[in-house]
Chain A
């Protein structure tokens, strides 16, 4: 259990401060060491010219194959528009009960919706998305509790509506090693 940790890998440019804030929030929620690093991935092979988006399924597998075995969980952070074949877009996805997840901030920024940019809002949304996908890797499914971070969010407004924390039931399911105090 001593080797357990979460690694956030940024593919593309993310400010150091931005990543630090996310790592801090993730550590607070999962109570395991969180580190972050940059990596390179040729995203052109995942680009679908017809949809002008990047295939999230293939990227998830690519991140999975690059993750090191001693890490508890690996989370790939992207800034491109992700899709899966059946859906027009996704904010992120993960292997349920697995060790890898991915999330993109592409559709999370206010500017995409014609609203004034807000770095704080973007950070908050991305943090929730990262914690949500990591929650799936810990075996959590979507939660009906309105404010739980594991509630399904298909629009950014849904993300704004929930907290960045797990509800009591989800927290219990994750297990004691990742217990976190009540918000």
Chain B
């Protein structure tokens, strides 16, 4: 267990001392306060403080003089000086005299957290190094990764070996194979696990939205941006960023991303200050990135930057032996969620599941089991609870109109909403088709 960091706050204003003290106590630090330099020096002589946060302008001895005295008492003390008036000269003097950093009051909560975290990092570095060296490397938090098959064992082995490193990882695999779970397992077993895993679904965002999501924006960057917004890269500081559907990002974003990955610095949209962030990147895609590189739709340099380690998650049809384990897992999961007693699955139903090719992979299997628990008799999952054959008709269809609506929409989507081709396939004229679209209020995104 790491020792609690102790902080001494030195400020002549009571409200400042109280605010800072409350803030640090909530963050789990040990805090003492002093209202002037004299009292502070007495405390420093009698007690050990890891960090000293001191105001520069105080009656009697000022902060700079106090800084020099503290340094003569304890050269390794981390002193952060603060002032209500920004002055480059004072800042330079404080830093020359050995201050760790310099801040202007009032500060953003995030700046304060960063400042203390940076100082704490320095203090805890040696201790952390020792702990990490002694840490037994074993996989934790992989309870959601179910599978005993050789294919899955290989994936878990890769997760184990890559987790401890800092390398970029690309996770490939069909939709529904659990790529995000693999990313979570890597993060949960890495030294970064105490920091956030920030997920970004690149495919769901337009280029400008993705830019703002990834880099954040400054107050006034565009209409309505009243306050600063933190980007995902910043949020992933010390942690991991998971970029899902990486193949969908535009060529402009590919360039931006490459630059960030190389420098680990970026600017918020509308900002002019470089921000740095220490993150690890894990990407996922269901596309063949290499062939996209060959076709010129994905940058080669970015591909190599991201593809340090590749983990391919096998489709469910290639690890049929895992289906019973997964079925058990999902039955437990949904029975608990729905507050129902655990129910078994009969042999015929299990056999049918093992024969099915699962184009939607684990996600499809999970939906099937959830549905079976919802509609089943609560005693056993049988073949009739599974959406095969006749049962595959959508349960939401209760009338002829519902059926017609669903069917027309299906054919429209099949022909990408080409009216002529859809009408021809349905053997109706274009006017009839238009009337049906109007009647059922069909839209392309339905």
Which A positions have Cβ atoms within 8 angstroms of B? 57, 83-90, 93, 96, 107, 111-115, 136, 141-142, 144-146, 152, 154-158, 161
In whole Å, how far is B92's beta carbon from the nearest beta carbon of chain A? 23
Does B59 reach chain A (CB closer than 8 Å)? no
Q: Which B residues lie within 8 Å of A93 (CB)?
A: 22
Q: Which of A85, A112, A144, A158 contacts B15 (CB 8 A)?
A: A85
Does B383 reach chain A (CB closer than 8 Å)? no
Report the separation of the CA atoms of residues A90 and B110 in the bound assembly, to the nearest whole angstrom: 10
- Do A57 and B225 have beta carbons less than 8 Å apart? no
Report the separation of the CA atoms of residues A47 and B105 in the bound assembly, to the nearest whole angstrom: 19
Encode contact with A along B7-32: 1 for CB under 8 Å, 0 otherwise.
00000010110111011011110000
With A57-B15, A85-B19, A111-B224 known to touch, is A155 a contact of B27 (CB < 8 Å)?
A: no
Q: Which B residues lie within 8 Å of A157 (CB)?
A: 216, 229-232, 235
Number of A-B contacts (CB under 8 A): 98
Q: Which A residues lie within 8 Å of B113 (CB)?
A: 152, 154
- Do A88 and B109 have beta carbons less than 8 Å apart? yes
In whole Å, how far is A136's beta carbon from the nearest beta carbon of chain B? 6
- Do A146 and B26 have beta carbons less than 8 Å apart? no
**Nearest B residue to A157 by beta-carbon distance?**
B230
Report the separation of the CA atoms of residues A113 and B25 in the bound assembly, to the nearest whole angstrom: 30
Does B123 reach chain A (CB closer than 8 Å)? no
Report the separation of the CA atoms of residues A89 and B19 in the bound assembly, to the nearest whole angstrom: 12
Does B197 reach chain A (CB closer than 8 Å)? yes
4 A-B pairs closest in CB distance = A114-B224, A114-B225, A154-B110, A154-B109
Q: Which of A86, A113, A152 contacts B227 (CB 8 A)?
A: A113
Report the separation of the CA atoms of residues A6 and B304 in the bound assembly, to the nearest whole angstrom: 55
Does B198 reach chain A (CB closer than 8 Å)? yes
Report the separation of the CA atoms of residues A96 and B26 in the bound assembly, to the nearest whole angstrom: 7
- Do B20 and A86 have beta carbons less than 8 Å apart? yes
Report the separation of the CA atoms of residues A136 and B23 in the bound assembly, to the nearest whole angstrom: 11
Q: Which B residues lie within 8 Å of A142 (CB)?
A: 26-28
With A85-B16, A87-B19 known to touch, is A146 a contact of B197 (CB < 8 Å)?
A: yes
Q: Which A residues lie within 8 Å of B216 (CB)?
A: 157
- Do B110 and A155 have beta carbons less than 8 Å apart? yes
In whole Å, how far is A72's beta carbon from the nearest beta carbon of chain B? 20
In whole Å, how far is A143's beta carbon from the nearest beta carbon of chain B? 9
- Do A113 and B235 have beta carbons less than 8 Å apart? no
Q: Which A residues lie within 8 Å of B194 (CB)?
A: 144-146
Does B329 reach chain A (CB closer than 8 Å)? no
In whole Å, how far is A6's beta carbon from the nearest beta carbon of chain B? 19
Does B330 reach chain A (CB closer than 8 Å)? no
Interface centre among B107, B227, B232 (most CB of A within 10 A): B227
Interface centre among B22, B25, B198 (most CB of A within 10 A): B22
Q: Which A residues lie within 8 Å of B232 (CB)?
A: 157
